[in-house]
Amino acid sequence: MNFPVRFSRTERRFYGIIFAMDKAVITVVGKDTVGILARVCTYLAENRANILDISQTVVQGFFNMMMIVDVAVTTKSFDAFGAGLAALGSEMGLDIRCQKAEIFEKMHRI
């Protein structure tokens, strides 16, 4: 039996079950070095955040990444999750920010 997997903006359907999504936008900016993506993704996996979309580029030695992640089932509160990312960024010499995606969605409705 083949069940379709469908996604919408605010929910995810998997085998007919609806899961609420809580999206966040994560940005990472700084001097390029080995392991940035690996360390950020490890943090996300340890906290059960699911990567929905990712874009990264390196321009003249500077790393820039933007991720859309589902934080609906993370192991920490949103503030603690974001603070952990900021601490990781500080440790790596990067600026890592985490913001709720709904801020951007509502900002564009005005």
Provide the whole-model pTM: 0.78
Question: What number is the average pLDDT over the span 42-67?
Answer: 97
Specify the DSSP class assigned to residue 49.
P
- What would the pLDDT profile of 3-47 be if each residue is shown by its tens digit? 343 344 445 555 555 456 789 999 999 999 999 999 999 999 999
pLDDT above 90 coverage of the chain, percent: 69
Q: What kind of fold does domain 5-105 have according to CATH? A: Alpha-Beta Plaits (3.30.70)
Q: What 3-state class would DSSP assign to 78?
A: helix
**Cα–Cα distances in Å, from 59 out to 41, 93, 110?**
21, 17, 33
Domain boundaries, the chain: 5-105
Strand order in the sheet with 94-100: 50-59, 62-70, 23-31, 94-100
CA pseudo-torsion sign 30, 74, 52, 24: negative
